[in-house]
A and B are shown apart, each in its own frame.
Chain A
Amino acid sequence: MASDEQTSSILQGRWEAEVPTTAFLEFRGPAPVGGLLGGKPGEGVLSGSDGCNGVGGWYAPDGETATIRRGLSTLKACPGVDTWLSKASSVRADGTVLHVYDGTGEEIGVLTRAET
């Protein structure tokens, strides 16, 4: 249900972190509005991981940027894992690089578009 091809967002697809290597964000197609995913009009489905817990929810694309609205994720603690991606609040795509920003607008890291 998650990935239709009808969205025009260039963000769609999977973006991976260098550290930790298991961290990623995957931007999928539009969420069914008012349906199971509780998406708002124009929002897409976001899934991902910070290497310790999930980083899921929804995203509202706007050109090469998007703001993220978080859903529920697990709440483990993983000693030694840098869970920087858990702070993701918005993103901006620049070619194969995705800049990730926290709630204050500060860049906290980058992801790389996964090879298909």
Chain B
Amino acid sequence: MAHPTTGKRFVALSAAVALGFGGAMIAGPASAAPSTDLKTAAAEAFTSSESIAAIGHGEDGSLVAQVVAGSDEAEVEKALEPANAVAQDQTGEDLVVQEVASTYSTQSPEPSSTATDGAAYEASDDVVAGAGYVVETSAGAGLCSVGFPATGPEGEDAIITAGHCSGGEATGDVYVERPSTSNVFTDSYDTAEWDQSRKLGEFTHSQYGPKVLGDVETDADLDPEQMQDFAVITVDESAGFNLIGEAATWSEESGQADDLASDTTDITGVHDVTSEDIGSEVFHSGRTTGKTAGDIGWDESNGKVSIGIVDGYAPVTDDAGNEYMVYGFASETNVAGGDSGGAVMMGDKAVGVVSGGIEASADMPAMLWTAELAEGLTHLPGDYEIKTSGESTEDPSETPSEDPTEEPTEDPTTPAPTPTETDDADVDAELSVDPQEIAAERFLAEDEEQAESDDRGVKYTVEGVEPGSEVLFETFTGSDAASANAGSEEAPAEETDQEPAKSITVTANEDGVAQSRIWGMTTAEAEAYIGEYDVVAQTEEETLEGSFSVVAGDGDQGEGGDEGEGGEDLPRTGSTVAPLAAGAAGLVALGGALVYVARRRQA
């Protein structure tokens, strides 16, 4: 048991004396905090020598120092003198010294390229949604999953994933994990290998929060722009990776062959998840649980109350205990550590990345919180477009089977607007907004059923369009609309580039009529919705405009609208505003979420 230091007692330590990872540190026994003496001595040791990995308590009350093998003998001995004195004083024994390979600069196991057992892993060129990756930052190594292969503003290859995977920092080198060593196939976190010889890329953008739960006191504080969990990994194009717009199924065969691209599901575009999607199934693809599916909203079959939350906000706690707010939606999908950042899909549409989750317990099903992609894409630095099936880095000539739209928030299957203004349209299309002024109390509705039966909210009708054609309804909060703060998708600060608070596409019925209804969710105070709203209906041939206003009281006064002094000073009292509803899982549902229901049936 040779050791460079002399005069010390060298004792092999059991695994129980692991002193943790993430940097040199002091550990105390469970029953008592480290004594001030030891702290002082440890601090001296750490500042006198960079070869001290750890100092702490070992078994049977002994004091232990871990020292990097091969370090300067005299320096280490001198650095540990005070600690040795404390050890003798407190335990009557010498300090126990253990050799370790290095200080605790990373949390990672040896990457496979330097592993001693087995052949080094050479990553496949093909990278698909859901694949595992390792990110190495100054804080250590973590494993997450690929969200979506994408194309960046300059035509570069990129990957969209979760911001928290890099701790919200735009830094960190990324390597491809070997699929067959992931938890999907080994059920262990200790088997992970990755190809460190070929860097996939690095984080060049990352946003997690930055708003935290403590920043939120009223619904006015809820702002999608400040509540994101998205990051961009810019791919190192010289490394020869081929990004494919398809999601891994994690089938046994594809995993064991380390070829996830051999078994995938198509990605054809991006879908904006709305309340219409409550009850729909989503699935995720990631390196820990593989591919699992669940419904948006709880499954009532388990006897629990069904809660669907879309366009909502939830605090997602990170490894420092910070409760960062993330905009997205909930589904009853099983996920586990390592699935973060992975792709969430609805059918063949990309809808988000894995942000957070809750494991299933005796009285609650598993839950997945998805950071919503349609919103998240609008907050990335520049235009990122998700790669779709048929496109890939190496085969740009191949035409996608479905048209990836420029604006990824809507259904990409929209037929091309071939008809001219006059073709097929006997009458000019007309938009009606009914009513054009509504009392805040009447704007609220519990759900679609109540909105319909009580005629709550505001109804949009476009007549005179081609049957079967699509009409995009967009609702914008006016400059003095209080609901600018409550809308499900926040209007950006710049008035010049305002985005709709809500948008939805409706297919016209056989009579050429497309209808939609919008209302305010009762999770917010009615007053939160007071203000002016602009409505834009885009048919395949023209753009129609309208507006309505939500006013205070019972709707009789015509002059009620001027209390909105501009989004910040809302006509409400802070103490009575409690719009943030509690879900069974304690989720934060956004009070001000505007709810749409498309009417596809005959008017």
Interface residues of A (CB under 8 A from B): 1-2, 18-22, 24, 26, 34-39, 47-58, 69-83, 86, 89, 96-97, 103, 110-112, 115
Residue from A36, A51, A75 in contact with B339 in the complex, judged by beta carbons closer than 8 Å: A75
**With the chains together, A36 CA to B107 CA distance in Å?**
35
For residue A83, which residues in chain B have a CB less than 8 angstroms away from its CB? 337
Contact mask for chain B residues 491-535; partner A; CB cutoff 8 A; 1 contact, 0 none: 000000000000000000000000000000000000000000000
Q: Interface size of B by Cβ–Cβ distance < 8 Å?
A: 69
Contact mask for chain B residues 249-261; partner A; CB cutoff 8 A; 1 contact, 0 none: 0000000000000
For residue B359, which residues in chain A have a CB less than 8 angstroms away from its CB? 70
Known contacts A75-B339, A78-B143; A58 and B586 CB within 8 A of each other: yes
For residue B20, which residues in chain A have a CB less than 8 angstroms away from its CB? 18-22, 51
For residue B586, which residues in chain A have a CB less than 8 angstroms away from its CB? 37-39, 57-58, 69, 71
**With the chains together, A27 CA to B27 CA distance in Å?**
22
**B22 touching A76 by the CB < 8 A rule?**
no
Q: How far is the CB of B365 from chain A (nearest CB, A)?
A: 13
Contact mask for chain B residues 322-342; partner A; CB cutoff 8 A; 1 contact, 0 none: 110000000000011111100
Interface centre among B214, B338, B355, B367 (most CB of A within 10 A): B338
**With the chains together, A55 CA to B322 CA distance in Å?**
10
- Asked whether any CB of chain A lies closer than 8 Å to the CB of B30, the reply is yes
- Asked whether any CB of chain A lies closer than 8 Å to the CB of B445, the reply is no
28 A-B pairs with CB atoms under 8 Å apart are A1-B214, A2-B213, A18-B30, A20-B20, A22-B320, A35-B580, A37-B586, A39-B586, A47-B317, A51-B21, A51-B319, A53-B337, A55-B317, A58-B586, A71-B315, A71-B586, A72-B315, A72-B587, A73-B318, A73-B357, A74-B340, A75-B355, A77-B338, A79-B143, A79-B189, A81-B21, A103-B361, A103-B362
Number of A-B residue pairs having CB atoms within 8 Å of each other in the complex? 195
**A73 touching B358 by the CB < 8 A rule?**
yes
Residue from B22, B32, B316, B578 in contact with A74 in the complex, judged by beta carbons closer than 8 Å: B316
For residue A55, which residues in chain B have a CB less than 8 angstroms away from its CB? 317, 321
Identity of the chain B residue whose Cβ is nearest the Cβ of A14 in the assembled complex: B321
**B108 touching A79 by the CB < 8 A rule?**
yes
**A76 touching B164 by the CB < 8 A rule?**
yes
Residue from B25, B108, B318, B362 in contact with A54 in the complex, judged by beta carbons closer than 8 Å: B318
**B314 touching A72 by the CB < 8 A rule?**
yes
Q: How far is the CB of B276 from chain A (nearest CB, A)?
A: 24
**B22 touching A77 by the CB < 8 A rule?**
no
**A75 touching B28 by the CB < 8 A rule?**
no
- Asked whether any CB of chain A lies closer than 8 Å to the CB of B31, the reply is yes
Known pairs A22-B320, A53-B318, A79-B189. 20 more at Cβ < 8 A? A19-B27, A20-B22, A36-B213, A36-B216, A38-B586, A39-B586, A51-B21, A52-B337, A57-B586, A70-B361, A72-B316, A72-B587, A75-B335, A75-B355, A75-B357, A78-B319, A79-B192, A81-B21, A96-B31, A112-B33
Interface centre among B28, B30, B322 (most CB of A within 10 A): B30
Contact mask for chain B residues 177-199; partner A; CB cutoff 8 A; 1 contact, 0 none: 00000010000011010000000
Known contacts A72-B367, A76-B340, A80-B107; A97 and B30 CB within 8 A of each other: yes
Residue from A35, A39, A54, A82 in contact with B317 in the complex, judged by beta carbons closer than 8 Å: A54
**A75 touching B320 by the CB < 8 A rule?**
no
For residue B22, which residues in chain A have a CB less than 8 angstroms away from its CB? 20-22, 51
- Asked whether any CB of chain A lies closer than 8 Å to the CB of B542, the reply is no
Residue from B33, B107, B358 in contact with A70 in the complex, judged by beta carbons closer than 8 Å: B358
**With the chains together, A81 CA to B106 CA distance in Å?**
10
**With the chains together, A72 CA to B164 CA distance in Å?**
13
